[in-house]
Structure 1
C-alpha cells in the first residue's frame, strides 16, 4: 500500500497552468503505480490553463467550487461532484471564473 497524505503530496509544475497549485496523490513522484496517476489541482480565482491537448485521456472530478471547461465542442460548467472525460488529442482549457478557489481531482494514464 502507498499512502500519500494531502499535506505532504509532492507539488508539480505543468506548463501553461496559471494561478494553480498542482500536487500528485499517486503515481510518478508520489509513488509506484502500474496504470495511472492521480493529482489534485487548486485553481485560484482567475486561474486557467491554455487551450491545448495531450496524447492521453484525462478525467476530471470537481471536488469543490466551479470549473469552466472549454473544448472545441463547447463550454461546460462543472460543480462539486461533476466530472468529465477528455479523449486523447481533445484540446481543452480550464478556467476558474468564480470568486472562490476550485479544487479538481485529475486521473490520467501513465505515459
Structure 2
C-alpha cells in the first residue's frame, strides 16, 4: 500500500489551463499507481481549460461547485459527485461559470513512455 497524505500533495501546472491550482494526489512516485495519476483541480470563478484534446481519456469527478464541460458537440454542467469521461482525442473545454470555487478530481493515464 502507498499512502500519500493531502499535506504531501504538490502543485503542478497543466497546459492550457487558467485560474486553477492543481495538486497531484497520486502518481509519478516510485511506489504510486502504475497506470494513471490522480489530481485535484481547484478552479477559481472564470477558470477553465481548453479547448484542446489529449491522446488519452480522462475522467472528471466534481466534489464541490459546478463545472461546465463542452465536448463532442454537447454542453453539460456537472455538480457535486457528478462525473464524466472524455474519450481520447475528443476536443473538450471546461469552464467554471459560477462565483464559487469548483473542486474536481481528475484521473488520467500516464502519457506514452511515462511511468513512475
Normalising by structure 1, we get a TM-score of 0.93
Instruction: State the SS of the aligned residue for 1:60.
Output: strand
| TM-score (normalised: structure 2) | 0.89
C-alpha spacing 1:58/1:16, structure 2 compared with 1 (3 Å) = same
Contact 1:57/1:87, CA 8 A, preserved across alignment: yes
Gap runs ≥5 in structure 1: none
List, as ranges, runs of 4+ consecutive aligned residues in structure 1 with deviation greater than 2 Å: 29-32
Measure how far apart 1:31 and its partner are.
Answer: 5.2
* Residue correspondence of structure 1 range 51-62 to structure 2 within 5 A: 51-62=51-62
C-alpha root-mean-square deviation of aligned residues, in Å? Answer: 1.4
Take 2:82 and 2:28, find their aligned partners in 1: how far apart are those partners? Answer: 26
Cα distance change, pair 99–6 in 1 and its aligned pair in 2 (3 A): same
Name the structure 1 match of 2:24.
24
Does residue 79 of structure 1 match 2:79? yes
Q: Quote how far apart the aligned CAs of 1:29 are.
A: 4.8
Q: How many residues align?
A: 111
